[in-house]
Structure 1
């Protein structure tokens, strides 16, 4: 890369957004997360446009923020070097005082909410056993921590009920489905919300102030997520209120006076913000926000919502919408980059017909021209979804004359239960075949040069890269695998025990499916790889162990095949530190430029 190109890439990579807004009660203010200082930290908006200030300056990345009901205390979750083992810290005096509250570095902790009187919190942790998460209640005055629910699997507290007598908890049932229970803290009695016979996803949940029930998003009895109402008097009866035939309702937020319900809809990778009037039973669509992906809607007061907004050309900022004035206003400008933002491109949304006639959607970045090099960018998950969000490497490739194609192959979220389950267990390679058919479609409909197609992906997307290179070797000119899986058997044996049980619903089990794992494992088919391969991994990865990358690299080197492995000693499953982010993406761009 030339110095000029290198400097331009750095400008793309040094763009930071604002995300995860959290309203501070009783202050007409909110916090948000940003990587502006190099790693995610908390910032505060103080009531006026541009008026933001640092709220934390901690040693490692902040993963979660929760303000107490009074707004006087804040709970921060922070891990170490990307290991995702979240520890909890109590902030008071507007963030200036930091107290270590729940710290056991070898264990995971997930915050589950403040008691309404702020004397207690609830958390989940795997202190009893690496594979089991239990629910605890911590008394903030005495610092005594009591186990209130024992579970041999993965569970997370959601919130306290208004009377402080119960905790709602989410228990993972499969890789996508969960059960919501109501746990009485004193008696330890437990009962379930919704059907005992139908598996479902239950997500965003809001309680009413009268303590009698609330609302949640769920796909019980549906293909997509809708909004349901529930009461604690008849917890088995989830009453469907409304939903979309084609799209998921993702997040809901109940207004302070409880007359409005804001909700976001995922429409093929773009978001809509809707307002439902609970008295009039009417829906209002917000039209004044920028097109993009919306996150974390919350009411700063009646009639005003704050929400995170991201798009391919907006790295992330916080916006406010006034319902009475029907006016949207940008509250932060963290995602601005006057040097390069004029070069960013909006993607086109297309689809192709795969081998079995399934329509598979994809985003296309770049200017339409014959024979341009193409990078296929595969998302992770596998149940995630590539959405219309800013990605510096995608944007840089597109500006350099590449086309970047980001598909949501079968198994992706956002298109209903049927679609997300199309790659389960022994249907795994059907999703890899989608990638082959995508390239064929690009060649036939866009004049793509089949000798100039590369592929890259992270996590499960890394497996997809390796599977594509080994099972369809003639299609690819280069591959980049970031924290990917090279063999499902070794992955399941070495990943976190709590994750193994859930991943087996998706990938297959060590007991029943090892023959299939051996059949499809990229590690067993390295002899077929013809494309050069670049691999990245974090030493502290607790999801996909670094051994997945090492065993693959060693095997390829023994065959004298072109492969390079970069291990970040201070990273986990994500790449968070800016110097590593820059190093990794500079090498990716150089690699693709060389081989495409």
Structure 2
């Protein structure tokens, strides 16, 4: 069916007039460079591990690499002489902050894998580390401020952050008097600080804030989340990518008047990354249901857009649409569907992870391959998904967990009543939190499904909270409930407690270096089912983490899932 390249993380170097990006073209994620003038592309790294991120400095590039997807990023420096090690301490997760070219010093945050503490550090380019301050939970570097001060944020729950200022000379912290909210994409210019935040009404909009006084004003009023906010080199305008019911819509914003103009550039799909080029030139990574990832160049002057890098293998056209249904409590739940015109439809419902995430009509190789093989793929954004406002995001918290499960059951009913699916040929699958939801559905309501696939899913919320990294435990408790307050509820609903009730074939995938959902979550579920004499298949990958990044493993998993559904969704 072809292998499709994935492009990620565009950055433009005005000094070199070159475009940088991460690509999976080699079978792993490596750093590449593209010259828009000559059309030449070049692979810059050939590392044994995947490149997770990178930062363009004045004289070198800083590269983040982890070990088999364990998310403990280690940092390397690449210059004209090759790649050297900056930080190589595999017991720590490292989070990039900022590089000071004059002092040859990095600001970083690190976290030991067994600790809840986060260290704010200064790292000399030769590798020596100086801890400035230790925090008792996740902190994130935002920016340097005048007077040797740093703007930081601290996670207060699974969604919100609080802003604070750290004075390096005085070793003092000061809270920024702004509401706890979601914050991202900070832009500083002269006396202005712009950012994205949902502190006004639960939707991510552009705000102008004063971190000294705590004053703020909202500059845009979209009732959707803005996901990308890129400011031009002359600071006069910005490009916004707004997530409107899952699809990306681009706007041009005048930063003096705050007025916005819709750009009719993208017909459907998702913009994954944006970067200003020269003058009025814009580069973007785009994909849609049947359009594999591509890098495009758009002229803001003429409105023309062209693909400059794309996939050699082309995808066939897919019939798909976005729709919605009413759940058990009349909540409107959106979904999108890959349709098929075959009789006796075989339907797979896929539930996304997070849960604070969102399924979107981007190019998904597994969905595409399932659809090409004759399956109808239905992808809901059940309650708890982001992209639809704060109340929707919080509608599945704690004791409301099974309400999200009921959303999937109501989707099944909706498909059947609308003549879109046959009750005897509907299977369910999901990844991460979607894996938990899949296991909940086949333990609480096994009679509704033909078969199921769980990928890196949670099998018991108590053991998940006990074994996930300490700093994540408190944040995830805000979503699932704590062991102390909700332990009995977690024990009662968790799939492992009800594993004997599964009456359909189940296939499970996991990986040994998963830093988010422990590998033991799948092992204990598989062992319980085998002990009960139930049908369960299990595949574990030695060199992956929570997100699979090696093409051979992705191909192996997808082929096994296709074979499994082909076998289990035949007419009884």
Query: Where on the TM-score scale, by shorter chain, does this alignment land: which range?
Result: over 0.9
SS at match of 1:512: helix
Deviation at 1:150, TM superposition (A): 1.5
- 1:211-290 aligned at under 5 Å gives the runs 212-234=191-213, 236-245=214-223, 247-290=224-267
Which range moves more in the overlay, 524-533 or 281-290? Answer: 281-290
- Partners of 1:213 and 1:190 in 2: how far apart? 22
Change (3 A) 1:546 1:512: same
1:251 positional shift: 2.0
C-alpha spacing 1:431/1:232, structure 2 compared with 1 (3 Å): closer
Shift, 1:158, TM fit: 2.4
Name the structure 2 match of 1:156: 140
Contact 1:312 1:346 in 2 (8 A): no
Indicate conservation of the 8 Å contact 1:193/1:238, yes or no.
Answer: no
Deviation of the 1:319 alpha carbon: 1.9
| Match of residue 593 from structure 1 | 566
Residue 429 of structure 1: aligned partner: 402
The answer for the alignment partner of 1:3 in structure 2 is none
Q: 2:73 aligns with which of 86, 97, 101?
A: 86
1:309 to 286, 296, 316: 286
Of the candidates 10, 32, 37, which is equivalent to residue 43 of structure 1?
A: 32
The offset of 1:307, in angstroms, is 2.0
- Residue 173 of structure 1 and its aligned partner are, at CA, apart by 1.1
Gap runs ≥5 in structure 2: none
**Rounded Cα–Cα distance in structure 2 between residues aligned with 1:129 and 1:563:** 32
With over 3 angstroms needed to count, the CA separation of the structure-2 counterparts of 1:379 and 1:128, relative to structure 1, is closer
Offset of 1:366 from its aligned partner? 1.9
Provide closer, same or farther for how the CA distance between residues 569 and 283 of structure 1 changes in structure 2, counting only shifts above 3 A: same
Structure-2 residue corresponding to 1:113: 98
Aligned to 1:29: 18
Q: Residue 176 of structure 1 is aligned with which of 152, 159, 164?
A: 159
TM-score w.r.t. structure 2 length?
Answer: 0.96
1:319 paired to 2:296: yes
Find the aligned partners of 1:570 and 1:47 in 2 and give their Cα distance: 35
**Aligned partners of 2:355 and 2:433 also within 8 Å:** yes
Residue 470 of structure 1 contacts residue 522 of structure 1 at CA under 8 Å; is this kept in 2?
yes
Q: After superposition, give the CA deviation of every residue in 1:390-432 in whole Å (9 maximum; x if it has no partner).
A: 1112111111221000000000011011001000000000000
Alpha-carbon shift at residue 183 of structure 1 (Å): 2.3
- Find the partner of 1:457 among 417, 425, 430: 430
Q: Does 1:165 align with 2:134?
A: no
Alpha carbons of 1:119 and 1:492: their partners in 2 closer, same or farther (altered >3 Å)?
same
2:121 to 136, 140, 145: 136
Cα pair 1:44 1:52 within 8 Å, conserved: yes
RMSD: 1.7
Q: Which whole-Å deviations, capped at 9, do the CAs of 1:238-279 have from their partners, x for residues lacking one?
A: 21111212x111221121111102211000110111111123
Q: Which runs of 5+ in 1 are unaligned?
A: 1-7
Tell me, yes or no, if the aligned pair for 2:319 and 2:340 is still in contact at 8 Å.
no
Task: Give the Cα separation in 2 of the matches to 1:102 and 1:280.
Answer: 44
Matching of residues 415-564 of structure 1 within 5 Å: 415-564=388-537
User: More deviation in 199-208 or 417-426?
Assistant: 199-208
Aligned residues between the structures: 569
TM-score norm. by structure 1 comes to: 0.92
